[in-house]
Structure 1
């Protein structure tokens, strides 16, 4: 990171110094086509992108350069005019294009150094957008901002509205800063290799921006490809017609030239015989010159047509490469969807195993309850036997008191029986205590079973949530396809929509957005709502097909239709 910061600082010094020197020698106001000015903006874009944090979105990963530049509006009220102008530009569709327009407007105001100085002084704000070792958070950022003060001597007149700032590839042209007085061949090779390596890294960084723009302009490119094919077919037909016409014209011209040459020979013979007819000879020569110039113009037109056809073919090849990239992205999204389906199947298998285990635990609980009932019945029988024994003992004691002398032997036998009964009673009490311990263990197992039931219900809820998320993702993919197919229809309305990053809660129900609660634009008012508050569909003037509208716009449009009907 330190080496990257040093390289960016050196490139900023070279670009700013070269821009100032060339502008002073140029002697007039600079415009957008001036190469040193274009390279300056490319270098500034690389400096501001260094260490930028990656934000994850539904379509992939994104580095938004517009985020930190938009914060300047809060630090300096004067920058609000630039930010408002950038938002009002109709041709800008990506955050990178807005950031490039902001840099050009700030340079025209001669406030670029002041705005960036205010931004680098607020480390707490920049830490939300940049890594710890980024250029904007280190000393190199302050040095670059100090160098930008020298650009106040330059007057720039830039037309931001007509430029295609969304799809430009920011590659640094190092050939503008190479020295011309190098004599050592080895030094030249080292410098060439270094330039190629840096260009490769910058191209890799720019590919991510190209992929993002390709995802958004897929349908537009397909239509442009069809239009380009039709234009190529028309150009080929026109070229064939022009070639046939050119061949006919050449044949006629050759015939006329042959006739003119014959006439010229006749006229020369006549001129030798007599000095008359000089004016007619001059007219024939002028006509020959006109025919030769027409032939040259036809050849030039044929060359221009061939050049135009080659350019169209190169454009077709580029469009095919871009279409292949979009197909690769679609394949990657399909693979991700298959992996999510595999995860869902694993979750379903786990739930099935848990249900089977729950059924086994339920059967075990029924068996334990049956054993508990049997133990209670045995304890009740033992208590009845004890009561009967007491009653018999009382009766026998009464009879023994009356006949002690006569029943001594019976008394001894009864005492022996009593001892046996006491031992039996003790045994029954021990069995009762063991049964109570068994009941305590069964109660603990029942509590564990209740906990397993709660875990099973929680897993069922999680399964339901996962199924809902999967359905919402499939719906989002379908909506994404619909949006890609309808992007040409809604290009004029997208600029009026609210930006996704500015909305964190639904405007109607004020619930916070999350992965399961997605954001949806109302096609009528452009505000952002959740799926529940925007599940209505109505045809609008811009689209004959029914499109998504919020509940408020749905009620308003229905009321308006009913009033128009009456």
Structure 2
């Protein structure tokens, strides 16, 4: 069994629903013999079915967020393609209470059912197939129904008739008021004439009285002029006096301002001098601190100088001692050298020289060899190490003292 086309099934279902809706609408209208209004349920069902039929396989406008599947888009383009539909398209946005595209589409459909172009539907849409022609034929049968989608017109006509009646009554009342006002105007004009005549008579009498009073005023004016001149002179004197007082006051005020300015400058000068005095005091304290520090350093320097002088005196004393010791050592060295020259010739002189110069090692050696005379070269060779040992032991203290003296001089 071959699978049915889903679009064909949808078309068949929509066609059957349209048939049932139109049939039920016609039967209910004819059976009850009533005029259809916008709140009639079968009529509302009919419009819902027609919306589904017109939406079937409609080419939607694609966007990033969703599919805008509504029939208002094609209806907006109809007025561009067909100028005769421009009036309907312009009147739909002006209708009150329409906020959604679906509502505007419903209003447009209720104003006029027009032919749709194929570019708005897919090839398998209900309105593009044979079922669309069947629905159009079914819609022709709706002509037998007397529809009244604007039930509020009767209430509007009644309200207009009532308002017209009220306006007629108000017009009659206004005409009566106009007649009364005209009568009152005529009466007021007559009264105005009487008042005008009385006023003229009163003016003539008043004119005579005014002329008499004018003569009296002229006589009294002369005295008033004299009084005015006197008052004016006094006013001039008072004004001059006031001007002088004002000038003196201005001078006093200017002097006061100058005195205040001088006081401010004097206060500023005093503050500056006080600041300067404070700064000088601080500098004096700093100088005192510096002097005390320098004095302390001077005392320390003098103490150090005294210590160094004492050290120098001690060094000079040590130097003198070392010099004397060096002289003694030089003498002993010369004597040692002289003794060396004598050793080669006379053994008795050698023995005497060793005892004279306190050379213990050499003396002890000679005591052991005292009976060996004359002195031979072999004896001298044995004696030389002992002699030089005594000589080195004699010179070592001198070298040690010189080294101590050099180290002491190198100390800062």
**Under a length normalisation based on structure 2, what TM-score does the superposition of the two structures give?**
0.33
The structure with the larger Rg is 2
More helix by share: 2
**Under a length normalisation based on structure 1, what TM-score does the superposition of the two structures give?**
0.24
Select the structure with the greater relative contact order (CA < 8 A; seq sep ≥ 6).
2
